[in-house]
Structure 1
């Protein structure tokens, strides 16, 4: 049971994709040049990604012969360069998909989402609240239809659709919900209901696997876990956002939660590397209550590494890169004003 619950940790990526679309759309300013938006996104993710990649290479790669069953990979500069430019997730081959820092495949999806965001926004902005909600419902329906199609025809070309395209509905859902709220929508969903829906999906998945694996219809529920969790993410995000807009505080606004949120991207980038360092040093530790001390210790190490990556790479690099672009934008505006007044 514990192992089944822990294996659902990958759903954190789903939450991040939905939240990313929501936050970027909620904070979007129409006067911001598209080039500046792209540069800020690049400054936000690439410097920390590169440092995390350099740390990961000696952990996951070897120049020596590799034993069968090892997680080590043969060094291949061409494949690693795909990770540098965030293109690795356009291939389903695990050697490419999980190349470099294995966690960084999601950055290929994010880079794709960032590239599309200004253009999706041009379609989204003219929509009123109802239109944005219809779009949200539409992308959810599409996501379920796609997953059901893959389940029904597992050998078809549908299973080979690249991950950035597969996961795009999650990002658009976040965008649509944010625009609906910017247009005045205030859902009456208690935060506990929103957060509880996340747990409910996990419980449903675990129960379905354990008790209904042989029941026609119900045995397909685990295959829809990501889509069900996507809906739950939307519910949780809008419930908490509406709660905050009413001037009410929540546990997630505490200082420690805010600080952990600031470190979260760095934590994501570095966590797999330190997990596999521990595997190389101590060997595999099975998921059991008696081994919680191992996981707690590893969590502390990951948090310290995340703090260091955020404090000494991510934050200072982003600030310097943003200041550089802001100065260029200001110089361009000053030159345009001078030309207009001449």
Structure 2
């Protein structure tokens, strides 16, 4: 906010390659939160290869790979301590290659759950571990500046990946088991659908408010300011989801379906045309409509 964004940075952002650049003007662009889109594009690009590599493996391979990823994160974090703070922050927090460690861990967790794996940590113990981790970050933040390589900002995402993997697996397992968790209600699902749009707009709203009104005073004024910012950013996220994300998703899914359909071959000359599928193979009347309706509800 308040600084010009070069055309090259805008182009890199639109092409979703800006997180590959160590230049902070490029990888933050006009929206500092948009770096994650570049990482997401890389993840989607590599996802089919990761599935082909891991889907048919034994659970022991998944477990050893997950352990190796955790160790790699612990090694890479101090290994880059000699870099200047800006380059180190880019390499650890933004670069898609380094973030791939977390993505692969998520892929392994999803494959394990699909095969029926039951995490040993329950949902509420997993929640307690994540909360405890954030409580540890508070005194850490006061004791160590974020610019130092062992500061809490980078550590908050590099060291917490196994905790969040355990939390996600525990929550997913609870849903699969049909247990009530409070996460499957209408509003929780709606907030989940808005969440990524909220992530993309929240910093823009915060920076615009700070530029317009400045930093609020501690106490009641800060509480009111954060409540207002939450309401505004959440409203913007809902509008972005309803007006942009959901229509774009429907259009892309429709394009994919049309591209995946094949025309029925014409009967060769001298051959009687087919009378169509056997009655038992024909879809029931209204089945197509029900499928479309179900897709619209998702």
Q: Does 1:317 align with 2:222?
A: no
Q: 1:185 maps to what in 2?
A: 117
Q: 1:163 maps to what in 2?
A: 95
C-alpha distance in 2, partners of 1:287/1:166?
Answer: 37
Q: 1:291 maps to what in 2?
A: 222
CA contact under 8 A between 2:119 and 2:166: conserved in structure 1? no
Q: 2:140 maps to what in 1?
A: 208
Match of 1:253 among 184, 190, 194: 184
Deviation at 1:341, TM superposition (A): 8.8
Q: Which runs of structure 2 are paired with 1:235-274 in the superposition (5 Å)?
A: 235-274=166-205
Deviation at 1:85, TM superposition (A): 0.5
Instruction: Mark the CA change 1:207 to 1:328 in structure 2 (over 3 Å): closer, same or farther.
Output: same
What whole-Å deviation, never above 9, does each CA across 1:270-315 have from its counterpart, x for those lacking one?
2122222212321222565541101101111111111111111110
Q: Which runs of structure 2 are paired with 1:127-138 in the superposition (5 Å)?
A: 127-138=57-68
Q: 1:26 maps to what in 2?
A: none
Which protein, 1 or 2, shows the higher relative CO under an 8 Å CA cutoff with sep ≥ 6?
Answer: 1
Q: 1:197 maps to what in 2?
A: 129
Q: TM-score, normalised by structure 1?
A: 0.70
- Corresponding residue pairs, total: 262
Instruction: Mark the CA change 1:75 to 1:290 in structure 2 (over 3 Å): closer, same or farther.
Output: closer
Q: Which runs of structure 2 are paired with 1:1-342 in the superposition (5 Å)?
A: 71-151=1-81, 153-154=82-83, 159=88, 161=91, 163-210=95-142, 220=150, 222=152, 224-285=155-216, 288=219, 290-331=221-262, 334=263, 338=265
What whole-Å deviation, never above 9, does each CA across 1:101-136 have from its counterpart, x for those lacking one?
221011111111111010011111121222212211
Instruction: Mark the CA change 1:239 to 1:341 in structure 2 (over 3 Å): closer, same or farther.
Output: farther
CA contact under 8 A between 1:267 and 1:302: conserved in structure 2? yes
C-alpha distance in 1, partners of 2:206/2:84?
Answer: 34
CA contact under 8 A between 2:73 and 2:159: conserved in structure 1? no
C-alpha distance in 2, partners of 1:283/1:207?
Answer: 26
Unaligned residue ranges in structure 2 (runs of 5+): 270-298
Higher gyration radius (CA): 2
Instruction: Mark the CA change 1:101 to 1:178 in structure 2 (over 3 Å): closer, same or farther.
Output: same
Q: Which has the higher helix share?
A: 1
What whole-Å deviation, never above 9, does each CA across 1:78-111 have from its counterpart, x for those lacking one?
2211111111111122111111222101111111
**What secondary structure does 2:57 align onto?**
coil
CA contact under 8 A between 1:128 and 1:183: conserved in structure 2? no
Instruction: Mark the CA change 1:244 to 1:78 in structure 2 (over 3 Å): closer, same or farther.
Output: same
C-alpha distance in 1, partners of 2:268/2:182?
Answer: 53
C-alpha distance in 2, partners of 1:265/1:93?
Answer: 25
C-alpha distance in 1, partners of 2:231/2:16?
Answer: 28
